[in-house]
Amino acid sequence: MPAVVAFEEKPNPIGRVFLHALMLWAGVGCLVWMILLLVFGSSATKTAAPGEILPDVRRAHELFAQRCVPCHGSTGHGDGPASANLNPKPRQFANATWQASISDDQIESTIRLGGAAMGKSSLMPPNPDLERDPALLAGLRVVVREFRR
Ligand code: HEC
């Protein structure tokens, strides 16, 4: 009976589809925003957690040029101008095997305490002033790691 079907109550189907699409769109939009906020929101506002040290890499680069390049060289090959007569030679930071063999802690301790205190050559001088500046010390460690090839 096609006539009955034709008069059946039919709320505007276009409107309903549109409404559903709108709700879906809003729902998905909210979800996407929540995910974006979760992923990027936390890192954008990242501050140092209590006890965490953020390496000061900018100052470390300056200090490295003054204090470390004379021996370790500007390319990390241990061939700075003051290295010619040193035996053993300053560590080659570019050496991947060495980089893999040493921990961040060991690097920082060697820089702070010097080679002798770490059972290495006393030609690697201590930097006791960095004791009071952990961000700079951590920055130097980052600089040393940057030479890894
Ligand atoms: C007077 C020369 C000299 C200066 C200046 C110097 N070093 Fe060294 N450094 C050495 C020598 C020599 C060694 C190798 C020690 C060894 O292998 O026994 C070394 C080794 C190291 C090591 C590797 C330690 C290890 O466990 O293998 C690190 C890291 C390091 N130096 C960082 C620095 C940093 C950072 C500076 C600047 C703040 C610096 N050094 C300044 C001579 C120097």
The per-residue pLDDT for 10 is 67
At 133, list the tokens: 């500046």
The per-residue pLDDT for 22 is 84
Q: How far apart are CA 56 and CA 64, in angstroms?
A: 12
The per-residue pLDDT for 48 is 66
- Report pTM: 0.73
For residue 53, the CA-to-ligand 1 centroid distance in Å is 22
Q: How far apart are CA 42 and CA 62, in angstroms?
A: 30
pLDDT in tens, the chain (149 residues): 555 555 566 667 777 888 888 888 988 887 888 877 777 765 555 566 777 889 999 999 999 999 999 999 999 899 998 999 899 999 999 999 999 999 999 999 999 999 999 999 999 999 999 999 999 999 999 999 999 87
**Pocket lined around ligand 1, Cβ cut-off 6 Å:** 67-68, 70-72, 82, 86, 88, 90-91, 102, 106-107, 110-111, 115, 120-121, 123-125, 127, 140, 144
Q: How far apart are CA 98 and CA 95, in angstroms?
A: 5
Cβ-contact 60, 139 below 8 angstroms: yes
Query: What are the backbone dihedrals phi and psi of residue 123, each rounded to the nearest 5 degrees, phi first?
Result: -70, -25
Output helix, strand, coil percentages for the chain, rounded to the nearest 5: 65, 0, 35
Cβ-contact 64, 140 below 8 angstroms: yes
